[in-house]
Structures are given as C-alpha cells and as structure tokens.
C-alpha cells in the first residue's frame, strides 16, 4: 500500500493507541504509547504523547508527515476549550494538515455504530456511557471524571479496594484478603504504607489494582465481592438510564449495546458480568470487540485534507 494515510488515536488513562488507515480503509500501521489522559491545566502533555505515538505509527508504515488528517479521541477532552487547546498543540507538532480532537468514547461509539443508533458502555481506567437514539438524539451518562464519577471503572474499583483495606485495618470492617493481595503486588509490608503510595500513584496505577480486586472477589472474599458488585451496579445504573431515556418501553426498540474498555472487552475480567447487565437492562449485545482507534481513524477519513 502507498499513502496518503490518516491516523486515528485512542488516548486514555493507561495507554495511547494509534492506527493508520489507507484511503481504501486498509490498515497501514499501528503504534502504542503511554497514557494520554488530558489534564485541563496541562493539555500540552497529552498532545506531545499523541504526536510522538503518531510519528512512530507513521514510521512503521513508511508514511511521510504531515499526514492528511488525524482524529484523536482522548479521555478528558470533553470541554470545547480543552479540545481547542489540544488541536492547537497538535497543529504545532506538524503531524497532520487537519487535526480534530474528540473523546475516547466518541471514537468507540463510531467504531461500533458509525452514525447509527446504539449505546456504548466504556469501562476501563475510567467509565462512561454514550448512546444515540433512532431519532439521532445523543445522550452521555457518566464521564464526570475521577472526583465526581468514574463509577464502575478500574479506578473506582482500585480506590474502593484501598478503602476496604483501610477500614479492615482500622477494625471498622471485617478482614479482607485484599490486604495481603495488594500489599504483595506493590511489594509493601504494612497497610499504612498504602497511604503514601496512593498519594503519588497515577490514575492508571490505581486502576491497575482492579484485576487483582476482581480475582480476590472470585475467591469468595466478602469485602472484595462487595467492591465488585458496587462497580457493576453503577455500570448497570448508567446503562439503564441511557436506555430509559433513548429507547423507552413505548418505542418497542431493543437497543444494541457495545462494550469497550479493558474491564469489559472480550477478554476483560468483567466481560461476562457486563453481558449479563446488558441483558438485564433490555439491551442486545453487539458481538465482537470495539476498537476505538479504528473508529477514530474512520472519522479521520471523513475530514478534509
């Protein structure tokens, strides 16, 4: 294949993935980089991660820069002012003639449904639900960030696990196997050391505790099980709210629901639980994996050179 190619970017709290597509839609190259979670006070840091990862994808594909177009879906890019700052930063990097920035959930939705109707549930480092009705109306549920939301995400589960350890250590709650599991994974000796670790940990560091908490819950540990059940309940509440608003019972439409993000991807630790949530909420599961960077690349194909 020869150029020109466009690039789609999926940047979240754990990693950044870039996919290059040829104009005929064929995959031309890929690259993966560190997290590109957007901090509103420092958008330039995310822009540099995106630009560096696009450059490596272009090098792998033998594509010359600047590319015709880049569409970047980034966690934390929900505000228009932040998107404008990111687009300006990416233009300064000279990686593409046309640059657009949206959110990672928009990229996931486009990969799953294009311009059609449906609902995507994202549960990775963060969490959010985005839906579009048959009438074209769109609705986002969740996506409030680490302080106000992210219920059902890896970060939410990680924080809840740490709190379960704290209350158990204080004898305010029953003992939990989470204590030994988390201390062992972090090579720490005492629960009190977790406080200092958590203060310096990134969002991705805390979210990385989620698979451990889920495994501990599978062993029958009651506090860990409660942590996971609360997370699943929160995801179910978000999905139910989106279905109720966009596909009310009177419509007679059973919406298609896609699952995206590390916790609920086809091989994710909560995939089977999430599939049950979709069925309980009255949705029809979209089979197969959702690839946000592919959705972003397809959006880039529609941009003018």
Mean pLDDT over 112-116 rounds to 95
3-state secondary structure the chain: CCCCEEEEEEECCCEEEEEEEECCCCEEEEEEEECCCCCCCCHHHHHHHHHHHHHHHHHHHCCCCCEEEEEEEECCCCCHHHHHHHHHHHHHHCCEEEEEEECHHHHHHHHHHCCCCEEEEEECCCEEEEEECCCCCEEEEECCHHHHCCCCCHHHHHHHHHHHHHHHHCCCCCCCCHHHHHHHHHCCCCCCHHHHHHHHCCHHHHHCCHHHHHHHHHCCCHHHHHHHHHHHHHHHHHHHHHHHHHCCHHHCCCCEEEEECCCCCCCCCCHHHHHHHHHHCCCEECCCCCCHHHHHHHHHHCCCC
End-to-end CA distance of the chain: give it in Å, rounded: 19
Residue 23 pLDDT: 84
CA-nearest of 137, 105, 124, 120 to 286 is 120
Contacts of 143 (CB under 8 A, 6+ apart): 78, 103, 105, 126, 127, 128, 129, 130, 149
Q: How would residue 13 be classed by pLDDT, with cut points 50, 70 and 90?
A: confident
Using the predicted structure, report yes or no on whether residue 2 has a pLDDT greater than 50.
Answer: no
Q: Give the pLDDT confidence score for residue 28 in this predicted structure.
A: 86
Give mean pLDDT, residues 83-112: 94
- From-to residues of CATH 3.30.420.40 in the chain: 5-102, 116-287
**What local confidence, expressed as pLDDT, does residue 36 receive?**
81
What's the residue count for the chain?
A: 305
Mean pLDDT on 172-188: 97
In what side-by-side order are the strands of the sheet with 27-34?
Answer: 27-34, 15-22, 5-11, 67-74, 96-102
Mean pLDDT of the chain: 93
For residue 203 the two structure tokens come to 């969002």
Q: Which of 12-16, 49-53, 77-81 has the highest mean pLDDT?
A: 49-53
* Res. 70: pLDDT tops 80: yes
**What class, spelled out in words, does domain 116-287 have in CATH?**
alpha beta
Q: What is the percentage of the chain residues whose pLDDT exceeds 70?
A: 99
What is the torsional sign of CA 44, 47, 52, 55? Answer: negative
Question: Cβ atoms within 10 A of the Cβ of 188, count?
Answer: 14
- Alpha-carbon 256 to chain mean position: 19
**Would the pLDDT of 40 be above 90?**
no
Q: How confident is the model at residue 224 (pLDDT cuts 50, 70, 90)?
A: very high
- Confidence label for 147 from pLDDT (cuts 50, 70 and 90): confident
Contact present, 100 and 299 (Cβ < 8 Å): yes
d(CA 135, CA 215): 41
- What distance lies between CA 85 and its chain's CA centroid? 21
- Please identify which residue in the block is written with the tokens 């690259």: 31
pLDDT band at 3 (very low <50, low <70, confident <90, very high): low
Fold that domain 5-102 belongs to in CATH? Nucleotidyltransferase; domain 5 (3.30.420)
pLDDT at 27 over 90: no
């Amino acid at each position: 294949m020869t150029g020109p190619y466009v690039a789609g970017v999926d940047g979240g709290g754990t990693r950044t993935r870039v996919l290059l597509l040829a104009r005929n839609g064929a995959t031309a190259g890929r690259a993966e980089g560190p997290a590109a979670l957007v901090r509103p006070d420092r958008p330039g840091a995310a822009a540099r991660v995106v630009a560096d990862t696009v450059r490596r994808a272009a090098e792998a594909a033998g594509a010359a820069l600047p590319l015709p177009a880049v569409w970047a879906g980034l966690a934390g890019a929900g505000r228009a002012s932040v998107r404008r700052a990111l687009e300006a930063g990416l233009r300064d990097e000279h990686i593409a003639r046309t640059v657009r920035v949206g959110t990672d959930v928009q990229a996931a939705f486009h990969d799953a449904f294009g311009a059609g109707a449906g609902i995507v549930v994202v549960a990775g480092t963060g969490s959010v639900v985005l839906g579009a009705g048959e009438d074209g109306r769109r609705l986002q549920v969740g996506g409030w960030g680490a302080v106000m939301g992210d219920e059902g995400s890896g970060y939410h589960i990680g924080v809840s696990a740490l709190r379960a350890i704290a209350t158990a250590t204080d004898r305010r709650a029953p003992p939990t196997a989470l204590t030994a599991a988390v201390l062992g994974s972090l090579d720490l000796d005492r629960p009190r050391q977790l406080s200092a670790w958590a203060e310096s940990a990134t969002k991705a560091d805390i979210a990385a505790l989620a698979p451990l908490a889920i495994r501990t819950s599978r062993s029958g540990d009651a506090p860990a099980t409660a942590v996971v059940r609360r997370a699943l309940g929160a995801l179910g509440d978000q999905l139910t709210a989106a279905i109720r608003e966009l596909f009310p019972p009177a419509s007679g439409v059973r919406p298609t629901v896609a699952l995206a993000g590390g916790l609920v991807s086809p091989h994710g630790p909560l995939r089977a639980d999430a599939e049950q949530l979709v069925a309980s909420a009255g949705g029809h599961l979209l089979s197969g994996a959702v690839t946000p960077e592919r959705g972003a690349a397809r959006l880039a194909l529609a941009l003018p050179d």
